Amino acid sequence: MSDQADVRRDNSGPAHRYSSRLAGAIEERWQQAWAEAKAFRALNPGDEGFDAAARRFYCLDMFPYPSGKGLHVGHPIGYIGADIISRYRRMRGDNVLHPMGWDAFGLPAEQYAIDTGVHPRETTLKAIDTFRRQLQRFGFSFDWDREFATIDEGYYKWTQWIWLQAWSSWYDHRVERARPISELITAIETNEVWFDREGCLSWTRPPEDGKMWEEFTKTEQRDILDGQRLAYLGEETVNWCPKLGTVLANEEIIDGRSERGGHPVVRRPLRQWMFRITAFAERLLQSLDDLNWPESTRTQQAMWIGRSEGADLRFRLVELEGEIEVFTSRPDTLLGVTFMVVAPEHPLVEQVLGEPPDGCDRERIRDYVNTAKNRSNIDRMADGKNKTGHPLGIHATHPATGEPIPVWVSDYVLAGYGHGAIMAVPGHDERDHAFALKYELPIFEVVKPGEEIEDECWYGDGIAINSWCEQLDINGLSTAEAKAAVIHWAELEGHGIGRTSWRIKDWLFSRQRYWGEPFPIVHTEDGTHYPISKEHLPVLLPVLEDYEPAVSEDPQPLLGKLRRWVETTAGEAGVDPALLPPDTPVHRETNTMPGWAGSCWYFIRYCDPGNDTAFVGETAERYWLGPNDAAAGGVDLYIGGAEHAVMHLLYARFWHKLLHDLGHLSSDEPFRTLFHQGLLTSFAYKRDDGSLVPADEVDEEKSIEVATGEVVERIVAKMSKSLRNVVNPDDVIAEYGADTFRLYEMYMGPLDASKPWNTRDIVGVFRFLQRAWRLVVDEDSGDLSVQETLDEDVERALHRTIAKVGEDIERLSYNTAIASMIEFVNLATHHGGLTAEQLDRFARILCPFAPHIAEEFHAKLGNEGLCSVAVWPDYDESMLVDESIELPVQVKGKVRGRISVPADSTEEEVIAAALAHERVAEILGGAEPRKVIVVPGKIVNVIP
RNA sequence: GCGGGUGUGGCGGAAUUGGCAGACGCGCUGGUUUUAGGUACCAGUGGGGCAACCCGUGGAGGUUCGAGUCCUCUCACCCGCACCA
C-alpha cells in the first residue's frame, strides 16, 4: 500500500468523512473499551452473574502456530467467520465461549528457532506476542482471560497427565471401551482371564495348552500388561527423517517426504511410544455418521481408517515348515489363486535365504530384496505401475485344491498391511493381473460379471464360475454368497477365519526433538516403566544449550544429551515411593511428544483454564461440552482449515473418546459441528510459455508484463513469496481499518469457498461504511445527522434486512448478509436518511461484522453501554412484505409483463389482473388460456 | 485409478424449497462536485437487434406449465488418497 494512497484517502474531502485515520482512532478506542469492560468474558457455572437459563454456544477457532512470520491474510478468514456468529449469538442472549490460544510446541517453532539461532522458548513467546497484537487489531470478541499456550507449564502438566491415563489403561473389546489397567489386573488375579503360552489373553475359555498367570516370570507378566496398554512401546518400522532428526507419524508423510520441509523419509525399525488408536477404529468410523461435518472430511477420515471386510487364510508351505497367512477381501476368488506374493520385509524371505530349498536362486533373491528394501518410498512411487519381483523357489499348498502354487516376493505387496503377504488372483485384481502378465503366470477367470462386460480383468462383483473342487463348490453363487461360503468352509476346515482389516495403524507418538512435552515416565535397569505421580507433574522440559539436532542416520533424542537430567533416582523424578524406593536409579524418557499433543485437548482446557487440580473441572466440562437439551455435546461450532481433516481432527477424536471412556468427559465426540473456511488464493500472471510473472512486474489494467510488453494471462494461484502476491493484513488495516478488512474478507464469497484476494475490490465495502457513516454523521460539521420522520418504505426494508441478516448469520452466509446491508444503506440514502431509532437498530445488526464503527454509532446516538452486548433487534413478520406486490406474468414460458396487486389478493384476483394485462391479452388474442398457474408471491404462468 | 467438490457477465459472486437468471460489490461508460488528477455523489452496464423480439448459467439430451436448480450421458478444473490385497 503506498503512502500516497493513504494520504489521499485521509487528507481530501470533508473534515468528518469516514477515513482510514478516523477508522483507526475509532477502532483503538473501542478495543480498549471492550478490554476494560471485559465485555466478552464467558461465565462458568458458579461465576457471579452466570445465567443458567441462557443457551450455551461454544464457538471454537483452530488455534494458530505462532510462527515467526506473523499473521497472513488467509489466517483471519475463519476467525472473522467465527467472531461474527459469536457476536451475534451473544447479542441473542447466549452464553458464548469464544476463546483463543497458542499451539506453541512442535516442529515449526523449533525449526524457526534453529534458523534464527535463538532458543525456541524465546522465539515462540515473541511470536505469540506478535500474533496476539495482530489478532487484537481485528477486534475479535475473544475471552482473553482464558488464553493459554500449550507450552505453559500449567497446561502441559495435564497433557502429560492425559498420556499417563492412556498408559494406565487398556481396551476391553467385550464392552468396546477403554478401562483402567488396574481392572485388568483384578480380572487376572480373580482368574477371569486365561493365557496361552505366548501370553495372549482369552476371556472365553482356557486355551488347550494354556498357562497360569503365576507360571509367567515377573518380566513376562510385565510385558503382557505392557502389551495391553493404550500407550505402549512398540518395535515398529517407522518413518525416520534424517534431516529433521526425528521419526514421523504416517499422517505426516506425503509422497515419501516429510510434510514439514519436504525432506526424504526412510523406513527403519525402532522402539517408539505408540498409541493404540486402532482399538478405537470401529468407533472412530461409526460415530462419523453422527457428526455435522463437511462430507469431504468425513469421507477422508473414513478412508484413512480404511475398514475392509474379508478373511485371513492360511496356506501351508510345501518345501519348508510353516505356512503363509494372508488377508483377502475377496475370499470368493480363492479358486482363482495362481500364485502368492510376499513383501520384501516378510519373515519368509529371511527363512528362504537361511535354508534355501532346491531350485532357489539365493543370490538373485537377496539382490532383489536388498534393492527393494533400500528403494525409498519416493522411488517406489515414481515407478508407478511397473511391477518387479522374483520367485522364491518355494510353493504353498492351495487349501482347497491341494495344488502347489509358486510363492514370489515383490514390493507391490506392502509389509505394513494385512500380513504382508497376498494370495494373487490375477483374473480379478488389476495389480495381480499386471504382475501375472509380466512374469507369464497363469490367469484363471472365476467371477462372471452380471452383465456382459468386455473386460480383461473384472474386479467387480458377479457370479462365481470355474469354482469347483472336491473340497469346495461355490459355482453359481453371487460374490456376497460366495464370500460367506468360503469363510464358513475355511473356519470349519481350519484354513482361516473371517476378519475385518483396517488401514489405520497405531499412532507413533514419540519424537527425537527438543521442543515438545517430555514423557512423564522413567525406566529402571531391567526396562520396567514407572509413571511420574500426579503431584510431581509436569516433568519440566529442561533447558538445553545446544538444541540443534545432529543430522544422523540413527535416531538420537536431543534430551539424551543431558546425562545428569536423564540419569536420576525414582525419588528425584517423582515416582510414587509405593511403586519404587526413592533411591532406585532410573532413566528418564528422552523422547518428546509430537506437536499434535497439545492440540488434542486444548478446547477442553478453555472450559476451565485456571484449574490446577484437574485437567478440567467437572461442572465446567459438563456445562460447555456435555450433552444438553439443545445439543448433543462437544464444541457447538468448530471453524478451521480443511488441511486438518485427517491428523488433528482424528487424533483429537481419539483422545476425547479415551477420556470419555475413563469417565473424565461427558461427551464422546469433541466437535459436533465442523466448518472449513476456504483457501485464500491470489491472482498471478502467466506468460504464453506457462511461466509465471511476479505480480509487481505486471500492468494489471492491460494485462501485460511491464519489462517486455508481453501479454500475460491472469490466473488464480496460492499466495507465495516468489510470485510476490502475498498480502500483509497489517498493511490493509492501516489503509482501510479493521472493520473494512473484516467486511471485505466476508464479502468476497461463501465462507467455505476458495477465493482470490483482490485488493482493488476492498474499496467497495469501504464505501459502504462511508455511506453508513454519512447516515449518522454530517461530514462537514461532524454533528449527528438523523431524520425526524419515519419513512414507511425504509422501515419495511429495515425489518426485512434485520430478518435476512439474522437468518444469513445462522447459516454462515455472510456475503449475502453484507449485500443486504449494503442494499439497505443505499435505499436509506436515497430516501434521505434514517431516524435515530432506526439507526440504532441498524448499528446493532452491523455490529457482528463491523463492530468498531457500530459501537461508534451506538455511542453517538446517545446509548450508554456497549453495542457489542446490546440486544439483537426484533422484526415484525407483517412488515416483511409490502402492501402491494409486483408479480411477473409468463406466457409461453417467457415473462411478458408484470402486474401490481395487493399482497393479500386471492388467486382469482391475481388471474384476473394477469389476463387483463395489455401484452398478455394481446398474445392470447382473445382466446381463453388452457391453464393459469399462480405461485403465490412469485409468478403467474399463463398457458395458452 | 478411487473418493469429495466446482463450472453463472470483463472480475468476485447472488438466486436457502423447481418460479422474474445475473442481487450486491469491483471494473467500465457518461455526468455532477472539484483549479486538475484522485476522493465523493448521480445514472447506465449479459450478448444481439432501431424495435417487437431472439439468444444466454461448461457441453448434449430428457422430465416439467416452468430447470442454474431434478434425471441421463459428457467435458474441464480444484482438493484429498493412492500398489491397502
Q: Which nucleotide's C1' is closest to A377 (Cα)? A: B83
Distance from CA(A804) to C1'(B20), angstroms, rounded = 20
**For position A8, what pLDDT does the model report?**
42
Q: Which nucleotide's C1' is closest to A411 (Cα)? A: B83
The answer, yes or no, to whether residue A10 has pLDDT greater than 60, is no
Write the single-letter amino acid at A751. Answer: L
The answer, yes or no, to whether residue A380 has pLDDT greater than 70, is no
What nucleotides of chain B have any atom within 7 angstroms of a protein Cβ? 3-5, 11-16, 19-21, 23-28, 37-43, 53-54, 65-67, 78-85
Nucleotide B25: closest residue by CA–C1': A764
CATH for the A307-502 domain, from 3.40.50.300, 3.90.1530.10, 3.10.20.30, 3.90.740.10: 3.90.740.10
**For position A3, what pLDDT does the model report?**
40
Of residues A17, A208, A123, A13, the one with CA closest to residue A737: A17
What's the mean pLDDT in A186-194?
Answer: 89
What's the mean pLDDT in A190-210?
Answer: 82
What's the mean pLDDT in A770-786?
Answer: 89
Distance from CA(A398) to C1'(B4), angstroms, rounded = 41
Distance from CA(A769) to C1'(B44), angstroms, rounded = 24
CATH for the A1-37+731-737+759-879 domain, from 2.60.40.420, 1.10.730.10, 3.10.25.10, 3.40.50.970: 1.10.730.10
The answer, yes or no, to whether residue A184 has pLDDT greater than 90, is yes
Q: Which nucleotide's C1' is closest to A422 (Cα)? A: B85
Distance from CA(A808) to C1'(B24), angstroms, rounded = 14
Q: What is the pLDDT of residues A41-58, one digit of tens each?
A: 999 999 999 999 999 999
8 A C-beta contact, residue A691 and residue A729? no
Q: Which nucleotide's C1' is closest to A807 (Cα)? A: B16
What separation in angstroms does the CA of A285 have from each of A120, A362, A714?
Answer: 37, 44, 43
Q: Which nucleotide's C1' is closest to A13 (Cα)? A: B39
If phi > 0 it is left, if psi is from -120 to 50 it is alpha, else beta; for residue A371 that is alpha
Domain ranges of chain A: 1-37+731-737+759-879, 171-228, 307-502, 681-726, 881-943
A326: number of Cβ within 10 Å: 25
Q: Which nucleotide's C1' is closest to A752 (Cα)? A: B5
Distance from CA(A753) to C1'(B13), angstroms, rounded = 11
ipTM: 0.95
**For position A552, what pLDDT does the model report?**
67
The rounded mean pLDDT for chain A is 89
Distance from CA(A920) to C1'(B53), angstroms, rounded = 15
**For position A451, what pLDDT does the model report?**
63
Comparison of pLDDT for A875 and A722, the residue scoring more: A875
Grid coordinates given for A61: 477457532
Nucleotide B40: closest residue by CA–C1': A13
Q: Which nucleotide's C1' is closest to A4 (Cα)? A: B38
What separation in angstroms does the CA of A434 have from each of A335, A339, A443, A839, A931?
Answer: 19, 13, 11, 73, 64
pLDDT band, residue A906 (cuts 50/70/90): confident
Distance from CA(A598) to C1'(B80), angstroms, rounded = 25
**For position A384, what pLDDT does the model report?**
58
Distance from CA(A814) to C1'(B81), angstroms, rounded = 32
Q: Which nucleotide's C1' is closest to A829 (Cα)? A: B41
Question: What percent of chain A is predicted at pLDDT more than 70?
Answer: 96
Distance from CA(A801) to C1'(B38), angstroms, rounded = 34
Of residues A62, A92, A43, A117, the one with CA closest to residue A845: A92
Distance from CA(A699) to C1'(B43), angstroms, rounded = 30
Q: Which nucleotide's C1' is closest to A303 (Cα)? A: B81
Q: What is the pLDDT of residues A55-93, one digit of tens each?
A: 999 999 999 999 888 888 888 999 999 999 999 999 999
**For position A36, what pLDDT does the model report?**
97
Nucleotide B83: closest residue by CA–C1': A412
Distance from CA(A895) to C1'(B46), angstroms, rounded = 17
Q: Which nucleotide's C1' is closest to A375 (Cα)? A: B83
- How many helices and strands in chain A, by DSSP H and E? 30, 37
Q: Which nucleotide's C1' is closest to A938 (Cα)? A: B19
**For position A181, what pLDDT does the model report?**
96
A521-523/A529-531 β-pairing? antiparallel
Q: What is the pLDDT of residues A267-298, one digit of tens each?
A: 777 889 999 999 999 999 999 988 999 988 99
What separation in angstroms does the CA of A347 have from each of A240, A419, A421, A506, A662?
Answer: 22, 10, 10, 21, 38
Distance from CA(A117) to C1'(B25), angstroms, rounded = 47
The answer, yes or no, to whether residue A4 has pLDDT greater than 50, is no
Decide: residue A83, CB within 10 A, 0-12 exposed, 13-18 middle, 19+ buried: buried
SS3 A693: strand
Distance from CA(A551) to C1'(B78), angstroms, rounded = 38
Distance from CA(A204) to C1'(B40), angstroms, rounded = 84
Q: What is the pLDDT of residues A134-176, one digit of tens each?
A: 999 999 999 999 999 999 999 999 999 999 999 999 999 999 9
Residues 6+ apart with CB under 8 A from A404: A318, A395, A396, A397, A398
Min mean pLDDT across A21-35, A382-396, A745-759 is at A382-396
A881-943: in CATH 3.10.20.600: no
8 A C-beta contact, residue A647 and residue A273? no
Q: What is the pLDDT of residues A238-267, one digit of tens each?
A: 788 888 888 887 777 776 677 777 787 777
What's the mean pLDDT in A858-868?
Answer: 95
What's the mean pLDDT in A439-446?
Answer: 93
**For position A76, what pLDDT does the model report?**
93
**For position A259, what pLDDT does the model report?**
75
pLDDT band, residue A6 (cuts 50/70/90): very low
Distance from CA(A271) to C1'(B60), angstroms, rounded = 60
**For position A2, what pLDDT does the model report?**
39
Q: What is the pLDDT of residues A357-366, one digit of tens each?
A: 887 888 999 9
What's the mean pLDDT in A423-428?
Answer: 94
pLDDT band, residue A695 (cuts 50/70/90): confident
Q: Which long-range contacts (CB under 8 A, 24 or more apart) does A485-490 make?
A: A485/A332, A486/A311, A486/A331, A486/A332, A486/A334, A487/A311, A487/A331, A489/A400, A490/A311, A490/A313, A490/A331, A490/A399
Distance from CA(A252) to C1'(B4), angstroms, rounded = 21
Q: Which nucleotide's C1' is closest to A326 (Cα)? A: B85
Distance from CA(A691) to C1'(B51), angstroms, rounded = 50
Grid coordinates given for A432: 495381480
Min mean pLDDT across A615-619, A706-710, A818-822 is at A706-710
The DSSP string of A701-770 is TTTEETTT--B-EEEEEE--TTTT----HHHHHHHH-HHHHHHHHHHSS-TTS-EEE-GGGHHHHHHHHH
Q: Which nucleotide's C1' is closest to A307 (Cα)? A: B84
Q: What is the pLDDT of residues A589-609, one digit of tens each?
A: 999 999 899 999 999 999 999
Q: Which nucleotide's C1' is closest to A434 (Cα)? A: B83
pLDDT band, residue A691 (cuts 50/70/90): confident
Question: What percent of chain A is predicted at pLDDT more than 90?
Answer: 61
Grid coordinates given for A621: 466440562
Write the single-letter amino acid at A835. Answer: T
CA distance A798 to A738: 25
Distance from CA(A745) to C1'(B15), angstroms, rounded = 21
Grid coordinates given for A372: 527393494
